[in-house]
Structure 1
Protein backbone atom coordinates (compact mmCIF):
# COMPACT_ATOMS: atom_id res chain seq x y z
CA UNK A 1 0.00 0.00 0.00
CA UNK A 2 1.39 3.39 -0.90
CA UNK A 3 2.27 5.78 1.89
CA UNK A 4 -0.22 8.41 0.72
CA UNK A 5 -3.10 5.89 0.63
CA UNK A 6 -2.15 4.68 4.11
CA UNK A 7 -2.16 8.20 5.50
CA UNK A 8 -5.52 8.98 3.91
CA UNK A 9 -6.96 5.77 5.42
CA UNK A 10 -5.46 6.67 8.80
CA UNK A 11 -6.96 10.18 8.60
CA UNK A 12 -10.40 8.76 7.76
CA UNK A 13 -10.24 6.25 10.64
CA UNK A 14 -9.14 8.91 13.14
CA UNK A 15 -11.93 11.20 11.96
CA UNK A 16 -14.60 8.51 12.27
CA UNK A 17 -13.46 6.97 15.53
CA UNK A 18 -12.05 10.06 17.22
CA UNK A 19 -15.21 12.12 17.44
CA UNK A 20 -17.71 11.08 20.09
CA UNK A 21 -20.96 9.60 18.97
CA UNK A 22 -24.17 10.24 20.85
CA UNK A 23 -25.49 6.89 19.64
CA UNK A 24 -22.77 5.09 21.61
CA UNK A 25 -23.19 7.08 24.82
CA UNK A 26 -25.48 6.27 27.73
CA UNK A 27 -27.59 9.32 28.40
CA UNK A 28 -28.21 10.60 31.89
CA UNK A 29 -31.69 11.69 32.98
CA UNK A 30 -32.02 13.73 36.13
CA UNK A 31 -35.40 14.10 37.81
CA UNK A 32 -36.09 16.28 40.82
CA UNK A 33 -38.87 16.92 43.26
CA UNK A 34 -39.28 19.62 45.86
CA UNK A 35 -39.66 18.58 49.48
CA UNK A 36 -40.32 21.07 52.29
CA UNK A 37 -36.80 22.55 52.52
CA UNK A 38 -34.81 20.42 50.08
CA UNK A 39 -34.70 19.22 46.52
CA UNK A 40 -34.54 15.46 45.96
CA UNK A 41 -32.52 14.78 42.83
CA UNK A 42 -32.43 11.37 41.12
CA UNK A 43 -30.12 10.52 38.23
CA UNK A 44 -30.74 7.55 35.99
CA UNK A 45 -29.11 6.24 32.84
CA UNK A 46 -31.26 6.28 29.71
CA UNK A 47 -31.69 2.53 30.28
CA UNK A 48 -33.56 3.28 33.53
CA UNK A 49 -30.72 2.01 35.72
CA UNK A 50 -29.88 4.18 38.73
CA UNK A 51 -26.69 6.25 38.43
CA UNK A 52 -25.20 4.75 41.62
CA UNK A 53 -22.39 6.49 43.46
CA UNK A 54 -22.16 9.24 40.85
CA UNK A 55 -19.94 12.11 41.92
CA UNK A 56 -21.88 15.26 42.77
CA UNK A 57 -20.46 18.78 43.09
CA UNK A 58 -22.64 21.58 44.43
CA UNK A 59 -21.40 25.01 43.39
CA UNK A 60 -22.68 27.89 45.53
CA UNK A 61 -23.75 31.16 43.87
CA UNK A 62 -20.97 33.24 42.37
CA UNK A 63 -19.62 35.79 44.79
CA UNK A 64 -20.39 33.77 47.90
CA UNK A 65 -17.68 32.68 50.33
CA UNK A 66 -18.86 29.07 50.26
CA UNK A 67 -16.59 26.40 48.81
CA UNK A 68 -18.04 23.78 46.46
CA UNK A 69 -19.55 20.80 48.26
CA UNK A 70 -18.74 17.29 47.04
CA UNK A 71 -20.88 14.22 47.51
CA UNK A 72 -22.25 11.14 45.76
CA UNK A 73 -25.59 9.70 44.78
CA UNK A 74 -26.79 6.68 46.73
CA UNK A 75 -27.68 3.20 45.41
CA UNK A 76 -30.94 4.56 43.91
CA UNK A 77 -29.12 7.45 42.19
CA UNK A 78 -30.54 9.91 44.77
CA UNK A 79 -28.92 13.05 46.12
CA UNK A 80 -30.67 15.52 48.44
CA UNK A 81 -29.82 19.20 47.99
CA UNK A 82 -30.64 21.47 50.91
CA UNK A 83 -29.14 24.91 50.36
CA UNK A 84 -28.24 27.50 52.95
CA UNK A 85 -31.14 29.91 52.35
CA UNK A 86 -29.06 32.83 53.61
CA UNK A 87 -26.90 32.41 50.47
CA UNK A 88 -29.23 33.51 47.70
CA UNK A 89 -28.60 33.14 43.99
CA UNK A 90 -28.13 30.33 41.52
CA UNK A 91 -26.68 27.14 42.95
CA UNK A 92 -25.39 24.61 40.42
CA UNK A 93 -25.48 20.87 41.02
CA UNK A 94 -23.25 18.76 38.74
CA UNK A 95 -23.92 15.04 38.67
CA UNK A 96 -21.51 12.57 37.06
CA UNK A 97 -18.43 13.21 34.97
CA UNK A 98 -17.01 12.88 31.47
CA UNK A 99 -19.67 11.58 29.08
CA UNK A 100 -22.12 10.72 31.88
CA UNK A 101 -22.99 14.16 33.16
CA UNK A 102 -25.90 16.44 33.93
CA UNK A 103 -26.27 19.78 35.69
CA UNK A 104 -29.09 21.63 37.41
CA UNK A 105 -29.13 25.36 38.05
CA UNK A 106 -31.25 25.98 41.12
CA UNK A 107 -32.37 29.53 41.99
CA UNK A 108 -32.57 30.05 45.75
CA UNK A 109 -34.00 33.04 47.59
CA UNK A 110 -34.62 33.67 51.28
CA UNK A 111 -38.15 32.29 50.61
CA UNK A 112 -36.81 28.96 49.31
CA UNK A 113 -36.08 27.14 46.07
CA UNK A 114 -37.81 28.60 43.01
CA UNK A 115 -38.94 25.23 41.62
CA UNK A 116 -40.42 26.65 38.41
CA UNK A 117 -37.12 28.39 37.49
CA UNK A 118 -34.82 25.35 37.82
CA UNK A 119 -32.95 24.76 34.59
CA UNK A 120 -31.22 21.62 33.45
CA UNK A 121 -28.32 21.04 31.10
CA UNK A 122 -28.42 17.50 29.73
CA UNK A 123 -25.52 15.40 28.54
CA UNK A 124 -26.48 15.97 24.90
CA UNK A 125 -25.74 19.69 25.29
CA UNK A 126 -21.97 20.16 25.17
CA UNK A 127 -20.40 21.75 28.21
CA UNK A 128 -16.95 22.93 29.14
CA UNK A 129 -15.38 19.56 29.96
CA UNK A 130 -17.46 17.21 27.90
CA UNK A 131 -15.92 16.64 24.46
CA UNK A 132 -13.61 19.59 23.84
CA UNK A 133 -10.37 17.81 24.74
CA UNK A 134 -11.13 14.86 22.45
CA UNK A 135 -11.96 17.15 19.55
CA UNK A 136 -8.74 19.12 19.98
CA UNK A 137 -6.67 15.91 19.99
CA UNK A 138 -8.42 14.64 16.85
CA UNK A 139 -7.85 17.97 15.07
CA UNK A 140 -4.14 17.96 15.96
CA UNK A 141 -3.73 14.34 14.77
CA UNK A 142 -5.56 15.13 11.53
CA UNK A 143 -3.37 18.17 10.85
CA UNK A 144 -0.20 16.19 11.60
CA UNK A 145 -1.34 13.39 9.28
CA UNK A 146 -1.99 15.91 6.52
CA UNK A 147 1.40 17.59 6.95
CA UNK A 148 3.14 14.20 7.24
CA UNK A 149 1.39 12.95 4.12
CA UNK A 150 2.54 15.97 2.14
CA UNK A 151 6.09 15.54 3.42
CA UNK A 152 6.19 11.84 2.54
CA UNK A 153 4.62 12.30 -0.88
CA UNK A 154 7.19 14.99 -1.75
CA UNK A 155 10.11 12.97 -0.33
CA UNK A 156 9.21 9.73 -2.12
CA UNK A 157 7.51 11.33 -5.16
CA UNK A 158 4.36 9.31 -4.55
Structure 2
Protein backbone atom coordinates (compact mmCIF):
# COMPACT_ATOMS: atom_id res chain seq x y z
CA UNK A 1 0.00 0.00 0.00
CA UNK A 2 1.23 3.50 -0.83
CA UNK A 3 0.19 6.93 0.29
CA UNK A 4 -0.74 9.33 -2.51
CA UNK A 5 -2.05 12.87 -2.75
CA UNK A 6 -5.81 12.84 -3.16
CA UNK A 7 -7.43 14.44 -6.19
CA UNK A 8 -9.05 17.04 -3.93
CA UNK A 9 -5.59 17.91 -2.52
CA UNK A 10 -7.13 18.21 0.94
CA UNK A 11 -9.20 21.25 0.03
CA UNK A 12 -12.47 19.36 0.43
CA UNK A 13 -13.10 18.48 4.09
CA UNK A 14 -15.97 16.16 3.08
CA UNK A 15 -13.94 14.11 0.58
CA UNK A 16 -14.87 10.40 0.71
CA UNK A 17 -11.36 9.25 -0.33
CA UNK A 18 -9.09 11.15 2.06
CA UNK A 19 -11.59 12.58 4.61
CA UNK A 20 -10.06 16.05 4.17
CA UNK A 21 -6.45 15.13 4.93
CA UNK A 22 -5.26 15.36 1.32
CA UNK A 23 -3.60 11.94 1.45
CA UNK A 24 -5.09 8.55 0.73
CA UNK A 25 -3.88 4.96 0.82
CA UNK A 26 -3.87 3.19 -2.53
CA UNK A 27 -2.67 -0.06 -3.99
CA UNK A 28 -2.06 1.34 -7.48
CA UNK A 29 0.08 4.48 -7.54
CA UNK A 30 -0.23 4.96 -11.33
CA UNK A 31 -3.95 5.73 -11.26
CA UNK A 32 -3.55 8.38 -8.59
CA UNK A 33 -0.61 10.02 -10.33
CA UNK A 34 -2.56 10.24 -13.59
CA UNK A 35 -5.56 11.75 -11.80
CA UNK A 36 -3.43 14.39 -10.09
CA UNK A 37 -1.63 15.20 -13.36
CA UNK A 38 -4.98 15.98 -14.99
CA UNK A 39 -5.90 18.26 -12.10
CA UNK A 40 -2.60 20.15 -12.36
CA UNK A 41 -3.22 21.00 -16.00
CA UNK A 42 -6.52 22.67 -15.08
CA UNK A 43 -6.22 26.44 -14.80
CA UNK A 44 -7.28 28.40 -11.72
CA UNK A 45 -10.86 29.53 -12.11
CA UNK A 46 -11.41 33.28 -11.86
CA UNK A 47 -14.16 34.74 -9.72
CA UNK A 48 -14.29 37.94 -11.74
CA UNK A 49 -16.20 38.39 -14.99
CA UNK A 50 -14.37 39.53 -18.13
CA UNK A 51 -15.68 43.10 -17.97
CA UNK A 52 -15.40 44.44 -14.46
CA UNK A 53 -16.14 48.02 -15.56
CA UNK A 54 -19.78 47.16 -16.32
CA UNK A 55 -20.45 45.96 -12.75
CA UNK A 56 -21.74 48.16 -9.95
CA UNK A 57 -19.79 48.76 -6.74
CA UNK A 58 -22.03 46.37 -4.76
CA UNK A 59 -21.60 43.59 -7.32
CA UNK A 60 -17.84 44.01 -7.17
CA UNK A 61 -17.90 43.96 -3.37
CA UNK A 62 -19.85 40.67 -3.48
CA UNK A 63 -16.84 38.99 -5.13
CA UNK A 64 -14.44 40.05 -2.38
CA UNK A 65 -15.65 37.67 0.41
CA UNK A 66 -15.55 34.71 -1.98
CA UNK A 67 -11.98 35.48 -3.04
CA UNK A 68 -10.79 36.13 0.53
CA UNK A 69 -12.44 32.93 1.81
CA UNK A 70 -10.73 30.91 -0.92
CA UNK A 71 -7.43 32.62 -0.16
CA UNK A 72 -7.80 31.86 3.56
CA UNK A 73 -8.63 28.21 2.82
CA UNK A 74 -5.54 27.83 0.65
CA UNK A 75 -3.41 29.53 3.33
CA UNK A 76 -4.75 27.15 5.95
CA UNK A 77 -3.89 24.19 3.72
CA UNK A 78 -0.37 25.57 3.24
CA UNK A 79 0.11 25.84 7.00
CA UNK A 80 -1.12 22.26 7.45
CA UNK A 81 1.44 21.08 4.90
CA UNK A 82 4.20 23.11 6.57
CA UNK A 83 3.41 21.57 9.94
CA UNK A 84 3.58 18.08 8.39
CA UNK A 85 7.17 18.57 7.18
CA UNK A 86 9.87 17.65 9.76
CA UNK A 87 12.42 20.43 9.21
CA UNK A 88 14.79 18.90 11.77
CA UNK A 89 15.92 16.15 9.37
CA UNK A 90 18.66 16.67 6.78
CA UNK A 91 16.77 15.08 3.89
CA UNK A 92 13.36 16.71 4.25
CA UNK A 93 13.56 18.39 0.81
CA UNK A 94 14.15 15.05 -0.88
CA UNK A 95 11.76 13.02 1.27
CA UNK A 96 8.86 15.47 1.02
CA UNK A 97 9.37 16.73 -2.53
CA UNK A 98 5.68 16.27 -3.36
CA UNK A 99 4.65 18.46 -0.42
CA UNK A 100 7.00 21.23 -1.53
CA UNK A 101 5.60 21.02 -5.07
CA UNK A 102 2.08 21.26 -3.64
CA UNK A 103 3.13 24.27 -1.55
CA UNK A 104 4.43 25.95 -4.71
CA UNK A 105 1.25 25.18 -6.62
CA UNK A 106 -0.96 26.55 -3.85
CA UNK A 107 1.23 29.68 -3.69
CA UNK A 108 0.69 30.25 -7.43
CA UNK A 109 -3.07 29.92 -6.95
CA UNK A 110 -2.95 32.33 -4.03
CA UNK A 111 -1.00 34.82 -6.16
CA UNK A 112 -3.68 34.72 -8.86
CA UNK A 113 -6.34 35.35 -6.18
CA UNK A 114 -4.30 38.29 -4.86
CA UNK A 115 -4.10 39.64 -8.41
CA UNK A 116 -7.90 39.49 -8.63
CA UNK A 117 -8.12 41.46 -5.37
CA UNK A 118 -5.75 44.04 -6.89
CA UNK A 119 -8.02 44.34 -9.92
CA UNK A 120 -11.01 44.91 -7.62
CA UNK A 121 -9.05 47.43 -5.58
CA UNK A 122 -8.05 49.33 -8.70
CA UNK A 123 -11.62 49.30 -10.02
CA UNK A 124 -12.98 50.64 -6.73
CA UNK A 125 -10.22 53.21 -6.27
CA UNK A 126 -10.82 54.56 -9.77
CA UNK A 127 -14.39 55.27 -8.63
CA UNK A 128 -13.01 57.13 -5.57
CA UNK A 129 -13.77 54.49 -2.93
CA UNK A 130 -11.19 53.40 -0.38
CA UNK A 131 -10.62 49.69 -0.08
CA UNK A 132 -9.05 47.69 2.76
CA UNK A 133 -9.16 43.90 2.73
CA UNK A 134 -9.24 41.95 5.98
CA UNK A 135 -7.86 38.43 5.77
CA UNK A 136 -8.84 35.60 8.09
CA UNK A 137 -5.57 33.65 8.04
CA UNK A 138 -1.98 34.52 8.90
CA UNK A 139 -0.57 33.47 5.49
CA UNK A 140 -3.26 35.01 3.26
CA UNK A 141 -1.47 38.28 2.61
CA UNK A 142 2.08 36.87 2.68
CA UNK A 143 4.04 35.87 -0.40
CA UNK A 144 5.90 32.66 0.45
CA UNK A 145 9.18 31.63 -1.11
CA UNK A 146 8.83 27.84 -1.12
CA UNK A 147 12.52 27.37 -1.97
CA UNK A 148 13.72 29.16 1.19
CA UNK A 149 13.94 26.85 4.21
CA UNK A 150 14.71 29.75 6.52
CA UNK A 151 11.62 31.67 5.46
CA UNK A 152 9.39 28.62 5.91
CA UNK A 153 10.75 27.97 9.41
CA UNK A 154 10.34 31.65 10.31
CA UNK A 155 6.71 31.59 9.14
CA UNK A 156 5.98 28.53 11.27
CA UNK A 157 7.56 30.16 14.34
CA UNK A 158 5.64 33.41 13.79
CA UNK A 159 2.38 31.49 13.38
CA UNK A 160 2.97 29.56 16.60
CA UNK A 161 3.66 32.81 18.49
CA UNK A 162 0.49 34.31 17.07
CA UNK A 163 -1.57 31.32 18.21
CA UNK A 164 -0.34 31.57 21.82
> Structure 2-normalised TM-score?
0.28
Higher strand share: 1
Structure number with greater CO (CA < 8 Å, separation at least 6) is 1
Query: What TM-score comes out, normalization by structure 1 length?
Result: 0.29
State the structure with more CA Rg. 1
Quick check: which one's helix share is greater?
A: 2
